[in-house]
Amino acid sequence: MKKLITFVSGLLFTVCLADLAIAGSIDSPGATSAGSGMYTLQSLYNYIVSGTALDATTSFQEPSAGPGSTMKTIKEIGDALKAMLDQCSVTTADSVELGKPFFSTQPGSWGVQTGTLSALPRPTATPTVTATATETATPTSTPTPTKTWYEQYGPWPGAGDVVPIGSMYVASRKEGDGCANDNTKAWASALSWVNNLVWLEKDDWRLPTKEELSTICSNRGSLESYQSGSYYWSSSGYGGDGLWCVLFNSDCWINGQNSPNSWFVRAVR
User: Could you read off the pLDDT of 110-144 as tens digits, one per residue?
Assistant: 788 888 887 656 666 676 777 776 777 776 777 77
d(CA 208, CA 266): 8
pTM check: above 0.85: no
> Among residues 45, 44, 23, which one has the least CA distance to residue 32?
23
Whether the predicted pLDDT of 253 surpasses 90 = yes
Q: Quick one: how many helices (H) and strands (E) in the chain?
A: 6, 9
Is the pLDDT confidence value at 8 over 60? no
Give residue limits of the domains in the chain: 37-58+70-86, 156-263
Answer yes or no: is pLDDT of 79 > 60. yes
**What are the backbone angles phi and psi of residue 17, rounded to the nearest 5°?**
-65, -40
pLDDT in tens, 56-76: 665 555 556 655 666 777 878
